[in-house]
Amino acid sequence: MAPMRIRPGATVTAAVCAGVLLATSACGGGGGSGSDTIVIGYSGPLSGGAAAYGKNIQDGLQLAIDELNNQGVTVDGEQYRVELRSLDDQYAPDAAATNAQRLAEQDDAAVVFIPHAGGIQAAQELNSSRTEFLLGAYSSDPKIVEQGNELTMMIPPSFESYAEPFVDKLTRNGESRLGLLGTASEYGQEWTKLVTQEWKSRGGQVLSDNSIDYGTVSDFAGPVSRTLAENPDVIFLGGPSQPTAVIIEEARRQGYEGSFLLMDQAKFEEMEEFTDPKNLNDAIGVKPVRNYDDPGTEDLLDAYAEKVTKKRPVTSEVALNYQSAAIVVAAMEQAGSIDDPTAIREAIPDAIGEVGEQFHVSGFPTEITDAGHLRNQDLEAAYRTPDGEYEYLPIEQPDE
Amino acid sequence: MTLFIQQLFDGLALGGVYCLAAIGLTLIFGVLRIPNLAHGTLYMLGAYVTYFFLVTVGVPYVAAIGLAAVVLAVIGVLLERVVFHPLRNAPHTHHMIAAVGAMFFFQAVAQAIWGADFRRMDSPISGSVTILGAQISWQRIVIVVTAVIVLGLLTWFIKRSIHGQTIEAIEQDRTGSSLVGISPSRVSMLTFGLAAALATVAAGLVAPINLLAPTMGDALSLKVFAIIILGGLGSLPGAIVGGFTLALAEVMTSTYVSAAAGEGIAFAVIVLVLAIRPTGLFARAVQR
């Protein structure tokens, strides 16, 4: 039996044809957001080093959307189903911008969520020019609202508001030596700078900067012993919760008894799962979601355990995005439009008061600033006392 | 002084891990002449499979590492058979592209099975000991001791056993070895299996002091390439000396210069070696 001979040229042609066919059918499918569907776009890291973070935000948005669909969404007298479309950008700014444009143009998403400052800034170049979309910006970097972009909604509190009260609390007994063990990411460096300034402005002494890349260091013992060798009273650190917990454990193991000042990326509730919670005593950071007693907190914790996982706690990444998805859809209802980003943005101030109580989970926003920052007037931070109890302290937010 | 002792032990432990990972890479280079860019992901898979046996199945720590090493040896052999063997006569760029493909594939598999979030693997070896005022955890001592034992066994295997000697024979002269009846194909499989198993031992040892994540191999991958370039591509003693040298340089630089300099030292080493002595410290790499 003679083998069938196929010209290589023919194979290539066939492959190209198949490819084109696939691509066109994919476009057709992608663009098919029916008239009764509201598409919410999301571009975040779903693979690679930051995938867990990207997944948390995606889960928060999806849980809100499920709940909204349960209740029914009516815009301008018509019933809609809300749908989340996610694309992976692996934390790359240019990929995030491309994804956002694709979501806005092909999927007719009027709102696109992006959870990293680089991607947000790249998308801000686009969202008010040819393709209009409202940007759900999940990053505590204040730069994203300083740009004057009119279609940006900044979701978390600005990290600048934390430095002062954190330093206040940890210097009440005359502590003066601050060790730096932050993460080497751009965001981590911004924090390091901020805390350094705040510390120095009180006349405290800032020791050598031992920032390391939490993702690539194989053994944290070295950087920890370097930091401890200078006898700090307080150590600033924080990156993703899990490596932060390991570093804290290492510091306690090496005999450190001072306090920790935690950057907002690290969450108490996640760290408690990774190290003996006793190690976290005498530390200040973001208030754990489960410690809020807002009307919807319990339900979100239950829904997360049931639909996502029982193994991980609900963090503010899940909770804040859960809240903001509800705000966006309420704004669509207020504006009577599902596809006009400007109208939706303008309706947010009124929409905030209209969102159902079950979406109030962790300090629901009380206002949106003119620059587009969702804010809660009663923002609190958490201090874990040397006895392992949580105390809350109010955070003043800067004017924008 | 206490700080120095502390850092010395940390550097030795890190060096042990680097060595075990680098030896596999240098062996593969010696036998197949390819830079296996997927080596870091084999290390990552090794850590996850160890985690699986230790936490999910519940076997003891040492047995978990052993079982994982066996599983990874099989994966290594499969990688050689399925990916690299069919490319044996292809230009070198094809190997690299294939290796990058394998790297993404393994990462995606790990993320699909274990998820993207960090995992913590607790080892039964806890506590620490005070040596000259420095707090050294037992886990780090175990890493150093195990690395030395494994390196000893490996040297014996390659120098004294028949199968090991075939690896060295192929490294030295592929055609000649074939003529005396050594099958290059079998040696390639053996090398890949061995390399993957060694990377697993390294990963199993380091996992308890760090965290598991699908991307944990990326940083190591770069470091081990620096090590084998420093030691000389394909050289076994080069990988050992290079591993400890780089680890100590990294730890000491970040202690006495700055943390950022410590992170960059590996790359400074590559540039210096390539500029001054491109064949590495132990110039074994034979030109074919």
- For A140-160, the pLDDT digits (tens) are 888 889 888 999 999 999 888
Give the model's pLDDT for residue B284: 56
The alpha-carbon gap from A39 to the nearest alpha carbon of chain B, in Å, equals 26
Window B:82-141, CB contacts with A under 8 Å: 107-108, 111, 115-118, 120, 128, 134-135, 137, 140
B57 or B269, greater pLDDT:
B57
Taking only the tens place, the pLDDT of each residue in A270-298 is: 999 889 999 999 999 999 999 999 999 99
CB under 8 Å to A161, separation ≥6 — which residues?
A: A379, A395, A396, A397, A398
What pLDDT sits at residue A245? 93
Q: Tell whether domain A36-158+284-400 is in CATH 3.40.50.1220.
A: no
Which residue of B17, B118, B140 is in closest CB contact with A52?
A: B118
The pLDDT-based confidence of A400 (bands split at 50, 70, 90) is: low
Question: Lowest mean pLDDT: which of A255-269, B124-138, B213-227?
Answer: B124-138
8 A C-beta contact, residue A398 and residue A163: no
Instruction: Tell me whether residues A47 and B108 touch, CB distance under 8 A.
Output: yes
For CA atoms B141, B144, B148, B150, give the dihedral sign.
Answer: positive
Query: Where along chain A do its domains lie?
Result: 36-158+284-400, 160-263
What's residue A35's pLDDT? 60
Indicate whether A10 pLDDT > 60.
no
Contact A212 B251 (CB under 8 A): no
| Beta-bridge mates of residue A284 | A261, A383
Minimal C-alpha gap between A109 and chain B (Å):
27
Instruction: With beta carbons under 8 A apart, name residues in chain B contacting A255.
Output: 135
How confident is residue A348, by pLDDT bands cut at 50, 70 and 90? very high
What are the residue boundaries of the structural domains of chain B, listed by start?
A: 2-216
A52, A210, A246 ranked by CB distance to B210: nearest? A246
Q: Which among A46, A88, A226 is the top mutation candidate for probing chain B, defined by the most B β-carbons within 10 Å of its own β-carbon?
A: A226
Average pLDDT of span B69-91: 94
pLDDT band (50, 70, 90) for residue A106: very high
* Contact yes or no for A52 and B117 at CB 8 A: yes
Confidence bin at B75 (pLDDT 50/70/90): very high
Q: What is the DSSP letter of A142?
A: T
Give the gap in angstroms from C-alpha B210 to the nearest C-alpha of chain A: 6
The mean pLDDT of A196-213, rounded to a whole number, is 91
Interchain proximity B3–A55, CB inside 8 Å: no
Task: Give SS3 for B29.
Answer: helix
Using a CB–CB cutoff of 8 Å, tell me whether B261 touches chain A: no
Statement: residue A4 has pLDDT above 80: no
Residue given tokens 């199993």 in the structure block: B204
Residues belonging to chain A with any Cβ–Cβ distance to chain B shorter than 8 Å: 46-49, 51-52, 54-55, 184, 208-213, 215-223, 225-226, 229, 240, 242-243, 246, 253-255, 274, 312
pLDDT band, residue A387 (cuts 50/70/90): very high
Q: State pLDDT tens for residues A162-185.
A: 999 999 999 988 889 999 999 888
Which pLDDT score, from 0 to 100, does residue B126 have?
78
Q: What confidence score (pLDDT) does residue B47 get?
A: 96
Could you give the CA distance from residue B144 to residue B138 in angstroms, rounded to a whole number? 10
Measured between CA atoms, the residue of chain A closest to residue B107 is: A48
Q: How many CA atoms lie within 13 A of A58 on its CB side?
A: 20
Confidence tier at B2 by pLDDT (50, 70, 90): confident
SS (H, E, C) B220-288: HHHHHHHHHHHHCCCCHHHHHHHHHHHHHHHHHHHHHCCHHHHHHHHHHHHHHHHHHCCCCCCCCCCCC
Nearest CA in chain B to A56: B117
Task: Report the CATH fold assignment for A160-263.
Answer: Rossmann fold (3.40.50)
**Stated pTM of the model:** 0.83
Interface of B with A in 3-42 (CB under 8 A): 3, 6-7, 10-11, 13-14, 17
Interatomic CA distance for residues A353 and A370, integer angstroms: 17
Q: Cβ–Cβ of B251/A48 closer than 8 Å?
A: no
Q: How far from the centroid of its chain's Cα atoms is residue B201's Cα?
A: 9
Query: How close does chain A come to B50, measured CA to CA in Å?
Result: 17
Contacts of A184 in chain B (CB under 8 A): 259-260, 263
pLDDT for A55: 93
Nearest chain B residue (CA) to A242: B118
pLDDT of residue A398: 72
Predicted confidence band of residue B261 (pLDDT cuts 50, 70, 90) = confident
